Amino acid sequence: MHQSKKILAALIAGTLASGSAFATNGYAPHGIGMKSKGMGGTFIAHQGDAVATGGNPAGSAWMDDRVDVGVDVFRPIREAEITGSGAPGVDGTYDGSGLKIFPIPEFGYRRGLNNNLAFAFSLFGNGGMNTDYKKGIPLFGERSGIDLAQLFLVPSLSYRVNNNSFGIGLNLVAQRFKANGLQNFTGKNSIPNPNFDPTNPATGGPVLDPQFSESPDKVTNNDSEWSYGAGVRVGWMGKINNMVTLGATYQSRTYMSEFDDYAGLFAEQGDFDVPANYGVGISVQATPALLLTADIMRIQYSDIDSIANDLHPFNCDKVGGSDPTGCLGGNNGSGFGWDDMTIYKIGGEYQVNSNLVLRAGYNHGDQPIPASQTFFNILAPATVEDHLTLGGTWTFSSGMELTATYMHAFENTVDGRNSIPAPFGGGEANIKMYQDSIGLAASWKL
């Protein structure tokens, strides 16, 4: 137990320092726990490790006492293209992968309190997004990019009644954010006026100094800031018979403290809550050696204004619009325009022998960015939809387990449609991403 506390403390520090950048299902990870990640991200009706209890807290009722420690090395490749712009020197391709490698630790612990009641603790990176355009995006500013990292700590209890278990967990969330290179939204950096006509004073001058934010000093280049909050997760698992297990889980919206240093960027004066999600799952022991799993999950991005509001910078009354709440940072300020996501996951594991288990899976969710909203999402190009996963576990004679997993998210492009506002020069912003991750975890039964 003392050693577990040391490991947990080290992993919390490592996770906070790692700059987690998961962005597979929107900006959420495709799975929770290394074994889940090898099976398409399924975890609702079957859990192989204690980390996964952070997704469905009812799962710990069916486990042995154990400790799981792992790290995922995540590699997202991000790119944007601007075409048809009326602003000089803007068209081109921009590499957003100034940083490519992100180590993301995880930790899980399960302890039975009696025959029916169990305690579990799960630590994992639940979401994030990172872009770093070293070349800079001329319509934004110099060396544009954002860094969002989220850490979930989920202590939970599960109680088993006959063939059912019920769980409740507390979501303790810490998130970190930083934005760079958005000077053109602050009124402190000029951008070309595509309508400038020296013979027509009504078109304005050759450059614009638009003031899009109600708090221009709190838009960009304010270093990293932390936000904290709490929510709940509840879950159920039911063993229908010897072959079939069903599960369900719900995570509440997590209300976070505001990013005060970015109160001029995010809607509602820096508000950036964690959206609710829910899902159902099934696992089928098809043969003594073969287990099949499937989950359906829904993430409610549309409930969070800073994520869901569309881009409407010229509604702001500071640039001639009619809405005093429509400036960046306002109650009706611009966001990223994301839709809700429904995610479909399937997986399987095969017991080759007493030592070796192999896993595979597939995960699909329609990406959340409408074609009309690609311009601002140059900063957050969460475009991937299809994920292929592989994994396996080797159990040593001592009982220690070593689990490895691999995920590839196939490249997907979202082409803009009327995506760049005309005062910025018009044209289209096209964004794309693909990803790979390799994970390794060690586990011990207590």
pTM above 0.75, yes or no: yes
Residue 7 has pLDDT above 80, yes or no: no
Residue 331 has pLDDT above 90, yes or no: yes
Q: Answer yes or no: are the C-beta atoms of 30 and 52 closer than 8 Å.
A: no
Tell me what pLDDT residue 191 has: 58
Domains of the chain: 2-445 (2.40.160.60)
Tell me what pLDDT residue 247 has: 98
Residue 269: left (phi > 0), alpha (psi -120 to 50), or beta? left
Residues 6 or more apart in contact with residue 241 via CB below 8 angstroms: none
Residue 1 has pLDDT above 90, yes or no: no
Residue 17 has pLDDT above 70, yes or no: no
Tell me what pLDDT residue 8 has: 52
**For residue 231, which of 57, 382, 371 has the smallest C-alpha distance?**
57
Rounded average pLDDT over 281-309: 97
281 or 207, which is more confident: 281
Rounded average pLDDT over 413-422: 95
* Burial label, 340 (beta-carbon count in 10 A; 0-12, 13-18, 19+): middle
Instruction: Give the pLDDT band of residue 3 (cuts 50, 70, 90).
Output: low
Q: What is the pLDDT of residues 274-289, one digit of tens each?
A: 999 999 999 999 999 9
Instruction: Give the pLDDT band of residue 194 (cuts 50, 70, 90).
Output: low
Tell me what pLDDT residue 401 has: 98
7 or 315, which is more confident: 315
Lowest mean pLDDT among 88-92, 139-143, 197-201, 286-290: 197-201
Rounded average pLDDT over 279-300: 98
Tell me what pLDDT residue 260 has: 97
Q: What is the pLDDT of residues 36-87, one digit of tens each?
A: 999 999 999 999 999 999 999 999 999 999 999 999 999 999 999 999 998 8
Q: Which residues pair with 256 in a beta bridge?
A: 229
Rounded Cα gap, residues 137 and 98, in angstroms = 13
Residues 311-320, buried b or exposed e (16+ Cβ, 10 A)? Answer: bbbbbbebbe
Tell me what pLDDT residue 318 has: 76
Instruction: Give the chain's mean pLDDT.
Output: 91
Rounded average pLDDT over 424-434: 94
Rounded Cα gap, residues 135 and 190, in angstroms = 18
Q: What is the pLDDT of residues 112-139, one digit of tens each?
A: 999 999 999 999 987 778 999 998 898 8
Instruction: Give the pLDDT band of residue 234 (cuts 50, 70, 90).
Output: very high
424 or 12, which is more confident: 424
Tell me what pLDDT residue 320 has: 73
Could you write out the three-class secondary structure of the chain? CHHHHHHHHHHHHHHHHHCCCCCCECCECCCCCHHHHHCCCCCCCCCCCHHHHHCCHHHHHHCCCEEEEEEEEEEEEEEEEEECCCCCCCCEEEECECCCCEEEEEEEEEEECCCCEEEEEEEEEEEEEECECCCCCCCCCCCCEEEEEEEEEEEEEEEEECCEEEEEEEEEEEEEEEEECCHHHECCCCEECCCCCCCCHHHCCCEECCECECCHHHCCCCCCEEEEEEEEEEEEEEECCCCEEEEEEEECCEEECCCHHHCCCCHHHHCCCECCEEEEEEEEECCCCEEEEEEEEEECHHHCHHHHCCCCHHHEHHHCCCECCCCECCCCCCCCCCCCEEEEEEEEEEECCCCEEEEEEEEEECCCCCHHHCCHHHCCCCCCCEEEEEEEEEECCCCCEEEEEEEEEEEEEECCCCCCCHHHCCCEEEEEEEEEEEEEEEEEEC
Q: What percent of the chain has pLDDT over 70?
A: 90
Instruction: Give the pLDDT band of residue 13 (cuts 50, 70, 90).
Output: low
Instruction: Give the pLDDT band of residue 22 (cuts 50, 70, 90).
Output: low
Instruction: Give the pLDDT band of residue 91 (cuts 50, 70, 90).
Output: very high
> For residues 303, 304, 310 and 315, what is the CA-based torsion angle, rounded to 10 degrees?
110
Tell me what pLDDT residue 235 has: 98
Q: What percent of the chain has pLDDT over 90?
A: 79
